[in-house]
Amino acid sequence: MYEVNYHRATSVEEAAALFAKAGDAKFVAGGQTLIPTMKQHLAAPSDLVDLRHITALKGITVSGGQVTIGAGTTHAEVAGSAQLRSACAAICDLAGHIGDPAVRHMGTLGGSIANNDPAADYPAAMVALNAAIRTNKRTLAAEDFFTGLFETALEADEIIVSVSFQAPAKCAYAKFPNPASRYAMAGVFVARGTDGSVRVGVTGAGSSGVFRHSGMERALAANWSTGALDNVSVDENMMLSDIHGDAAYRANLVKVMAKRAVAAAG
């Protein structure tokens, strides 16, 4: 790892001020992606501003179906929250299958969505749950937040504070993990709102990162069943294609995962 200067912030304001004073700084939360990336010399920030000790970024609140999760909440905390499980179990299960137990003790929701790895799990949930992503500057809809592979609408000095969403009537997430890396080769989050509207978020498969599948959404809004997806086509031209799976394979996987998710949601 190249040399770096470390700063620990105890408030969002302090973090922003430390960032502004530093040179080519990056925020670090759990560091479960950034530290390995720096070790491989694929990132070389001059300064790190640590967000892990900011109390205001932590915690989960559920009130009348409205869920808010602090950006600094770890995957283990999301997976283990009883009140969140009663409102939206799918997001607990999703978090409980990220990485491994040690990674889940450090990795955070905010860190994951800020990184926007095309094979990360949370982006599919954020898009399907129509989450509002609040930063220290503004609030963004999930669809406007994720802009491409490892790209988001965040400005360099912008800090995610929390995400909020209305708990849906039904939802579930199904992923096909790569057998070696365990990252999603296709992961589909389906959510059916209390008004009957349906949103489908797909991760791991799209060549531009996470996306909604409008064809599946229409079919499932008309008929919430796995069979409704039989005649929906997934465009191969939108898919990633690599040594782990070509575009046609991934397109099929998206449909299979969507069916599994609908079946799991019940």
Gap between the Cα atoms of 1 and 96, Å rounded: 30
Give min distance, CB of 111 to another protein, in A: 13
Give min distance, CB of 88 to another protein, in A: 19
- State which of residues 43, 106, 169, 221 lies at the interface with another protein (CB under 8 A): 106
- State which of residues 31, 111, 118, 245 lies at the interface with another protein (CB under 8 A): 31
Which residues, listed in sequence order, are joined to residue 140 by a DSSP beta bridge?
133
CB atoms within 10 A of CB 77: 21
Token couple for 204: 């791991």
Gap between the Cα atoms of 171 and 187, Å rounded: 13
Token couple for 9: 């912030």
Cβ distance to another protein smaller for residue 52 or 244: 52
- State which of residues 24, 41, 42, 100 lies at the interface with another protein (CB under 8 A): 100
Give min distance, CB of 93 to another protein, in A: 12
Gap between the Cα atoms of 111 and 34, Å rounded: 9
Kindly write out the interface string for residues 171-210 of this chain, putting x where it contacts another protein by CB under 8 A and - elsewhere: -----------x----------------------------
CA angle (224 as vertex; 193, 265 as ends), nearest 5: 65
Interface residue list for another protein (CB under 8 A): 1-6, 8, 28, 31-32, 35-36, 38-40, 48, 50, 52, 76, 80, 99-103, 105-106, 182
